[in-house]
Structure 1
Amino acid sequence: MELRIGCRLPLEEPVPGFTRHRIAGKVVKGQPLGGTDDEWVVIEPVYRAIELAEQLHDDAGDGVLLFGRFAFSVRYRWFRNWVNSQAGQRLGLAPIPAGPVNLRMLRRNSALEMAYRPGGVLATKIHLKHIAVATTEGYASRPGGAQAELLAEVNKYESERNLDLVLAEFRNYQQGILPAGPGARSLTEFFASVDAKLEPAAASAPRTQRSDRDVLNLLTKRAETLHVGPANFCWFTDPSRALCLKLAGTPTADRPLVGMCDSARCPQATHHPCHRPVWVEHAERTKTFLGDLGKTRKTERARLQHDYDRALRVVAEIDAAATDPSDKDSA
């Protein structure tokens, strides 16, 4: 209702082949008397529709209200009746089905469509001129909405990634590359039990399980307990044994606190060759800090020395566990 003749801004091409359509208007809600000038980026059909409305306007002078105040429900009903009439059929227009349509529904659907995209919640907040992102989340997070759709998609990809990681570690186990860390023994025993089920002699039926799909079926339950940390894998099989939950005082939580993980002491954490660069970098940085400390800072030196020794120990354990026993025998 605040759009005026000439509100279409010149086209922009920020990157070759991509045209940006903008319109200028005013934000009235929550603004001082007279509103505040603002701009919107719109899709091309909106830009063209405004151009057509300017051409059909009775007084097409710059600054004149393009539509002014109107009752949308009445105009929409007139428009639908005309499209569905013989005049609209002669022009080949597709009939508009019956049912309520209002501007709030349009705003809601626009919010949901934008929220499907990466960074959609923030983009929707900016586009709809919401003051707080909580308002935008109210538009997009209703049951079955974009937020739930995005969360379901994220969980799906996370499950697939966990299965791929567990399968890769199982293949490493079969090649003699074992995990390290406090939880290594439990994970190795699990891999051994799965490997035993794949042996033809241990199969209870003539059919043997050898494809990746069959192996994944055996690994699925353990993959559901996997939480990926920056320097370790957390196998969250028993909350009562999780060191992070004990330190946080939340022993009944259903997820680990990966940011508080002390993987060198937690009985459910394991280290693998993919984590070695992180521990090596940590050891090098800690060594640098140790060299820069003065002689009087004994407490800080003792703490850093402990961290440095722990990092070296973890690296050594990873190297030892990742060494194929057959290489030692051949040497």
Structure 2
Amino acid sequence: MSLNFLVERVRTACVLVVALLTGMRASELMEIPLDACVPPQELGPGRMRYRLRTKLIKGQGPDGVWDEWVTVLQAHSAVQLAVALHEPRDTSPHAFGRFTFSRRSTSLRAWVNGPEGQRLGLAPIPDDPINPQVTRRTLAMELAHRPGGLLAAKIHPKHVTVVTTEGYADRPGGAQAEFLADVAAEEQVRNKDLTLAAFRDLQNGIMPTGTGARDLIEFFASVDEKLREMEAAAPGVKPGDQEVINLVSRRAKTLHLGNANYCWFADPSKALCLILAGTPGADKPLAGMCDSVRCPQATHHQSHRPVWADSAENKKIFIGNISRGQPTEKARLQADLDRDLRVLAEIDAANGRAL
């Protein structure tokens, strides 16, 4: 197999990585210059900002306009690798140049899923269609699932600057309504899966923690009892995931994702964020005012541990950099650090681990 063939496979993989992680259109991918990688910017200890620059073409006239995408290390590194593999004799100023996205992705999938890719131990690529429209929508849906994500899902793929062509802002009831409906449907599927995972964790002895943990544990105990009744009524038939999902679906509808917790928004009158805001009758929690340590409807799970651990480490670094002349600030951060460590200790104890 020629080296050029392998180089092109790697460059195609780079295109797919950048498309999936940035949401760029095909025209924007093709316009990525050789110097697209803006030097990383350090925003604080362990906090780096990565940016890629290219041209916005759609809706901007024939020449387009230069713009930057804030992205992650993996996309930044993919462009760097593609530039490093750029043919020296190629006079094009672009990292990828002109290409047919579908043909490249189809060819890469056939190679990865074929004998050579399997010999190299590469994970098979599913048969789902891959094109810039799919990658943009996939990224938008992932962003929209997070707190404040609907705004991010419009800003990051440059929808706000091209509203007339995308329809997210100028056509309520059109593309915007369709997108919101898709997000809501995906959220329900995701919530059921997360609730099922939390239930399976409890069955395996991994308990939720937090002020709302007792209520959730009691609910899961009632679900477990119903499953035993179903099994007793039909000996030899063990209820599966679908039976569990059917039993937890009502509770799953109340689930909202916090930055470091699950919010089971079953009773608005008990939601601490709404109490603090003076809007106890609202139909959604206020993620920006969430204090999951004190809210009676919030729980912490093993999946949230990395967020609390990172928060604790950052606070330790900040405390170490505070001068002696700032005792008040140091005391405030120490109290926050103590809270983070307490949450970590509870999560670890719920899993039988020592901090």
Query: What TM bracket, shorter-length normalisation?
Result: 0.5 to 0.7
1:124–1:136: 8 Å Cα contact kept in structure 2?
yes
Sequence identity (%): 53
Say if 2:218 is the partner of 1:218: no
C-alpha RMSD over aligned residues: 3.6
TM-superposition CA deviations, 1:110-166 (whole Å, max 9, x none): xxxx9xx7479877887xxx7xx48974986353x2222211111111111111100
Select 2:183's aligned residue among 147, 154, 165. Answer: 154
Assess, with a 3 A threshold, how the Cα gap between structure 1 residues 215 and 293 changes in structure 2: closer, same or farther: same
1:38 positional shift: 4.1
Q: Does 1:301 align with 2:303?
A: no
Aligned residue in 1 for 2:171: 141
Picking from 62, 66, 74, the partner of 1:39 is 62
Runs of 4+ in 1 over 2 A off after TM superposition: 15-20, 37-41, 117-126, 133-143, 200-209
Contact 2:231-2:237 within 8 A present in 1 as well: no
* Alpha-carbon separation, structure 2, partners of 1:256 and 1:289: 30
Matched residue SS, 2:62: strand
Which structure exhibits the higher relative contact order, with contacts defined as CA atoms closer than 8 Å and separated by 6 or more residues? Answer: 2
Paired residue for 1:235, among 248, 254, 264? Answer: 264
Secondary structure at 2:256's aligned position in 1?
A: strand
Structure 2 regions of 5+ residues with no counterpart?
Answer: 1-10, 16-24, 28-59, 65-132, 141-152
Q: Is the 8 A contact 1:159 1:224 kept in 2?
A: yes
Aligned length: 217
Q: Which residue of 2 aligns with 1:247?
A: 276
Gaps of 5+ in 1: 1-14, 21-36, 42-113, 325-331
Q: Highest CA radius of gyration, 1 or 2?
A: 1
Partner of 1:77 in structure 2? none
Q: Report the counterpart of residue 26 of structure 1 in structure 2.
A: none
TM-score, L = length of structure 1 = 0.57
User: C-alpha displacement at 1:39, in angstroms?
Assistant: 2.5
Which residue number corresponds to residue 277 of structure 1? 306
Kindly report which structure 2 residues correspond to 1:119-130, keeping only aligned pairs within 5 A, or say none.
Answer: none
Alignment of 1:1-331 (within 5 A): 38-39=61-62, 118=137, 133=163, 137=167, 141-143=171-173, 145-200=174-229, 210-323=239-352
**Conserved? CA contact 2:212–2:295, under 8 Å:** yes
Local SS of the residue matching 1:296: coil
Q: CA deviation at 1:205?
A: 7.3
Do the aligned partners of 2:213 and 2:299 also contact (CA within 8 Å) in 1? Answer: yes
